[in-house]
Structure 1
């Protein structure tokens, strides 16, 4: 494929569904969590919350389902439910480790811009041995608005001391692609089974599209 890293000084990755194969487990957690309240998972829930920060999602659940627990209590319960899966069942998506190595070798900075909780991000990046590659790791709870707002991507660019137009974003969902584009960055959409139904829209919104991050490695000029 074409050299999508040309003129790029930093690469910013979404986490879930982009760097790691983890989107599948969140629907399982939502089903299990709502079952406690005798609520069946609504079919429109996943599209409604995609891109929201961990805090925004907890607020959405609290408001929509009338949950009495505090926002912090909801987030803590979700983190607890996800902890073992992130520690033992979530793998890197193919090509990610090799791309991170390439970025390091070519002197490009790398960052993570995620809607997940900091605790889970730190757990899984340490467990998978990739935390050392990142110069900035930020969560949407650290900015005013989650994706599709550009806030999280602009914050990471500021950390990396690069201009937005010098950044390439890897994202797997529409809201994330919109966030990267709104930030003024180039965006490469990545296939993920959880968002397979949105593939055409992702291809239209993004500057590039890959079925696997491994495709980026094919161009030896990078």
Structure 2
């Protein structure tokens, strides 16, 4: 799995940390305050978008009076406590990061989340300093269903795409990482259960827990 791999690029939410339930809760509370319900197709429309593009989507779809900046600020405020105090790494994730570091493999984060929240959760779990580069989708023109964020992440580390492995949990992101010419390891997350068959067919590897990787590291 790690043959010829010089860099590992990790998604954050649903891949490194158990946080997708927090965002489902935020969506419900945010819309409820405005007398709205969460549409059944909402997650499919926003899961690959950047933080700012998700705010733009909400503003347009729900005809909100708030500015995009105000929407993002409200989300950050709603999520800040959880990311700073309660959200944990997925079981075995830190041990696997240590294993990769011991092998001299560079580590990167590629996420749609905001920098304040990613920094808060990584520092609270003692792994912020592990990463050689951090890239968010706000730095590129397209979402994670395109290769842009993964290619930029590799470029920051001066590593060729074919020497990178990407860890993701959602189908659109698996497609984007594959389009970047990288090896893709899909990590199971309950919130991507409905995409599981497509993920397994597309990714190079499918893992339920990091302990499966630690044993072979």
TM tier, shorter chain?
Answer: over 0.9
SS across alignment from 1:87: helix
Rounded to whole Å, the distance in 2 between the matches of 1:128 and 1:141 is 24
User: 2:50 and 2:194 mapped to 1: Cα distance?
Assistant: 22
Deviations 1:61-98 (CA, angstroms, capped at 9, x unpaired) = 00000011111111110010000111122110012101
* 1:58-137 correspondence to structure 2 within 5 Å: 58-137=55-134
**Where in structure 1 do 4 or more consecutive aligned residues deviate above 6 Å?**
none
Q: Within the alignment, does 1:173 sit opposite 2:173 as a pair?
A: no
SS at match of 1:15: coil
Matched positions, count: 217
Distance 2:17 2:86 in 1: 10
Correspondent of 1:195 among 178, 187, 192: 192
Mapped partners of 1:175, 1:118: distance in 2: 22
Q: Secondary structure at the match of 1:209?
A: strand
Work out the CA distance in 2 between the residues paired with 1:100 and 1:132.
11
The Cα of 1:175 is off from its aligned counterpart by 1.2
The answer to whether the aligner puts 1:35 opposite 2:58 as a matched pair is no
In the alignment, structure 2 segments of 5+ residues that lack a partner are none
1:130-149 aligned within 5 A:
130-149=127-146
* Counterpart position of 1:54: 51
Cα RMSD for the two superposed structures: 0.8
TM-score by length of structure 2 reads: 0.98
